Amino acid sequence: MRKVGFVLYPGYSTMSLVVSTVFEMANQHAGMKVYDVQMLSVDGGPIRTSAGFQIVTDRLSAEPLDLLVVGGSIEDTPPDVLTLLRRAPQFARRIAAPCTGALVLAEAGLLDGRRATTHWMYARAMAERYPKVRVEEDRIFIADGAIWTSAGMSAGIDLALALVEEDLGKEAARQVARQMVVYHRRSGGQSQFSTLLELEPTSDRMQSVLTYAQRHLSSRLSVEDLADVAHLSPRQFSRAFQSETGQSPAKAIEHMRLQAARSLLEDTHHSIDQIALQTGFADRDRMRRAFMRAYGQPPQVIRRATKPTSVEPA
């Protein structure tokens, strides 16, 4: 049985507790207690969370753990927690820090010389405050040796699913993801940002256009096509779309294609030519130019960053 300990302290973010559900579902899928999940603290007893309610914890001892999970807090991390974490590699085989828990590990010095990520809102500040940490802000999660960090909110679930996959295999992780009704599973290298979230149209009309576009990226998707979906003239549509999203239709569609293509590069073994066709770029040269404009790197470089064994020709 794998012992998983969550280290709690005052102001602990309740979002980090969602990670525990992945291990709970893994137990249900296995039909046995594969993971023994414990809520722990330095002294034991009730701990007040960021939501105001309390969670009863056991005292953290030096008993070996397979995984120690460190979440963030709305309050400063107590010195005794940092002292404990500095000793954690001695008794925990792996350490995971969803969201701003990465800042706690950085403060404890556990991320020095390592690659790490965190919620995009705090990534820049983390890089400035902890220059010894190699912060990669546009990542869902990163595993550097025995230490795992993730981006904010739901990315902790992706991290936990990756841990389950490492422990129990891909099919077990897939079944847990299905049970939780989440995507199985975003790769660690996938971008934290969503084009649809960034556009944030204010009307159902424009939202329906974006939904249509997302489902038909391989099609031409001209302004005339999108205007028909919105039941507007091309001129009316272009003005309304720009007003609601802050982008031209052409630029928004390119961003959606870029995001889809990057996801396919990171999560599949499809060739770059296939991905270019599937996402509406038509050919690899056109996709390459779009990648250089958006990311400053060609598709091959981004694929190699997440799939080291890839041999896609340049």
Write the CATH number for 175.
3.40.50.880
Question: Is residue 79 in a domain?
Answer: yes
Question: What average pLDDT does the segment 290-296 reach?
Answer: 88
Domain match, 38 and 156 both: yes
The model's pTM: 0.64
End position of a domain, from candidates 154, 180, 206: 180
| d(C-alpha 267, C-alpha 43), whole Å | 43
- Predicted local confidence at residue 140, as pLDDT: 81
User: Residue 234 pLDDT > 50, yes or no?
Assistant: yes
Residue 134 and residue 102: Cα distance in Å, rounded?
Answer: 12
Mean pLDDT of the chain: 87
The residue range of the domain holding 217 is 195-306
Exposed, middle or buried: residue 194 (CB in 10 Å: 0-12, 13-18, 19+)? exposed
* Rounded percentage of the chain residues whose pLDDT exceeds 90: 60
Q: Report the CATH number at residue 277.
A: 1.10.10.60
Query: Quick check: is 311 in a domain?
Result: no
**Structure-token pair, residue 156:** 């902790």
* Same-domain status, 122 and 261: no
pLDDT band at 312 (very low <50, low <70, confident <90, very high): very low
Residue identified by tokens 């041999």 is 311
Q: Model confidence at 197, in pLDDT bands (50, 70, 90)?
A: low
The first and second tokens of residue 174, run together, are 């897939």
For residues 301 and 308, what is the distance between their CA atoms, to the nearest angstrom? 10
List, for residues 11-42, the tens digit of each pLDDT value: 998 888 989 999 999 999 999 999 999 999 99
Asked if residue 212 belongs to a domain, the reply is yes
- Whether the pLDDT of residue 207 is over 90: the answer is no
pLDDT, one tens digit per residue, over 69-94 is 999 988 889 999 999 999 999 999 99
Distance CA 71, CA 124 (A): 19
Q: Rounded to an integer, what is the distance from CA 232 to the centroid of its chain?
A: 37
Q: Do 155 and 224 share a structural domain?
A: no
Q: State which of 47-51, 92-96, 195-199 shows the largest mean pLDDT.
A: 92-96
Q: Is residue 47 part of a domain?
A: yes
How confident is the model over 285-291, as a mean pLDDT?
94
* Residues 164-180 pLDDT 10s: 999 999 889 888 888 88
Least reliable range by pLDDT among 1-5, 136-140, 189-193: 189-193
The verdict on 228 and 263 lying in the same domain is yes
Residue finishing a domain among 133, 157, 180: 180
What pLDDT score was predicted for residue 183?
A: 54
Does residue 188 lie in a domain region?
Answer: no
Q: What pLDDT was estimated at residue 2?
A: 95
| Residues 205 and 173 grouped into a single domain | no
